[in-house]
Amino acid sequence: MRKKKKIIIAAAVLFVIIITAIGGFCFYTKWQMSKEHSVVYLSTGEIYIGKLSYLSIPKFKLTDAYRLQAVKDAEDETKTNFQLTPLKDALWSPQKLYLNPDQVVFYGPIEENSKAGEALQKAGK
């Protein structure tokens, strides 16, 4: 009987350790990712930039979001320019964007010295 008790206690302690590790990883990842801007490329071809965080693995939430748009140059039709449009200025004016993980092709951090990073700095973000 005593041996069974020890096994049950050891299993319970191991379970608590595993749950704590998973919870800590999720919290750390959410905290870590939401501090910086990331680019998110969707299978629809849309590109968003914002503060990316996990709701629960693998569901994503994007806040302080911008949409990257390609625009033809008014003076030179062969030239394409890119602009960041804040989603808060969109007709539907979302505060956050929930992303379907099946539609996310890739995501990654925006470097401060990149053109997108410089544009965000100019916008005061």
Residues in Cβ contact with 105 at an 8 Å cutoff, skipping those fewer than 6 apart: 41, 42, 43
For residues 116 and 11, the model is more confident at: 116
Whole-number pLDDT of residue 105: 93
Whole-number pLDDT of residue 81: 82
Whole-number pLDDT of residue 23: 66
Q: What is the pLDDT of residues 72-101, one digit of tens each?
A: 888 888 888 888 888 888 888 888 888 988
- Domain edges within the chain: 36-122
Q: Which residues of 35-68 are buried (b: 16+ CB within 10 A; e: fewer)?
A: eebbbbbbeeeebbbbbbbbeeeeebbbebbbbb
Mean pLDDT of 29-52: 81
Whole-number pLDDT of residue 34: 59
36-122 to CATH, choices 3.90.950.20, 3.40.309.10, 3.40.50.300, 2.30.30.100 = 2.30.30.100
Whole-number pLDDT of residue 77: 82
Average pLDDT, rounded, for the chain:
81
Contact 108, 102 (CB under 8 A): no
pTM summary value: 0.66
